[in-house]
Amino acid sequence: MTQPFLNDTPITTASDQVFVDMRREIVEGSIQQGSKISEPELAKRYGVSRATLREALNRLESCYLVERKANVGCRVVALTAERLIEVYQVRSSLEGLACRLAADNMAADEVQGLKQLLNQHLQTQRVKEGESYYQEAGDLDFHYRIIKGSKNAHLIHLLCNELYQLIRMYRVQMGMVGPRVSKAFDEHLAIINAIENHDGELAEMLMKRHISASQANIQTKFDLLNKQTNTLLKAKS
């Protein structure tokens, strides 16, 4: 069954509530990546039955936040450099296409809304100082707005339902700090200008470059973590 878009997720059952709560906690890191899922503990924590919890876990698995492996059980997905490459290859192609389509299909008021959103990010966050650039989910997310602006239902489903949360997990837990912050903001602004000028080819190219730069930024963090881990192992040996 096709899930509703992120902002329209209805909460009508206990399973819906557990799904939404766990999704947020996994993406933001409150539930640690790679951690083993204990159904009895989580059912008790959320005050639901094991059957209700399993329903939520099945939905989390469908958006790649939870994975099941034979003889291992159910675990929260682990963010790895290998998975980053695979996910961002798909992201680059699909979001690039979304940008191209948005340049043709976004109404003038939608483009203005996107500009206002960027201005809001600039005014309410530490973007000016180059300290951080955190975007809330859904309509407060620059990328989400563009994807919806493509007006292509299949593309929206792929990016906003199936892949959005895993991509967002990388962005939230290994996101932008330092010099990358102001550069990313400028890249967002250039993308909006291309969309406003109905230049789909340029918009697509700029989005792909933007995502490539974001991937490189995250990869640098993985490299640093690996270096630190190797140093600790050498110190212990």
Q: Angle at CA 50, nearest 5°, toward 47 and 52?
A: 75
Q: Are 206 and 92 in contact (CB under 8 A)?
A: no
Q: Global pTM?
A: 0.83
Beta bridge partners of 76: 66
Q: What is the pLDDT of residue 2?
A: 36
Residues facing 24 on adjacent strands: none
As given in the structure block, the two tokens for residue 82 are 């290998």
Instruction: Give the pLDDT confidence score for residue 225 in this predicted structure.
Output: 79
d(CA 102, CA 88): 20
Per-residue pLDDT of the chain (237 residues; tens, 9 = 90+): 334 444 456 788 999 999 999 999 999 899 999 999 999 999 999 999 999 999 999 999 999 999 988 877 899 999 999 999 999 999 999 999 999 999 999 999 999 999 998 888 777 655 555 445 555 666 678 899 999 999 999 999 999 888 888 998 988 888 766 667 778 888 999 999 999 999 999 999 999 999 999 999 889 888 887 787 777 767 776
SS3 label, residue 15: helix
What pLDDT does 227 receive?
Answer: 80
Using the structure block, give the residue that is written with the tokens 């340029």.
202
- Spatial neighbors of 131 by CB under 8 A, at least 6 apart, are 177, 178, 181
Say whether 68 sits in a helix, a strand or coil. Answer: strand
d(CA 205, CA 122): 24
Residue 182 is predicted with a pLDDT of: 76
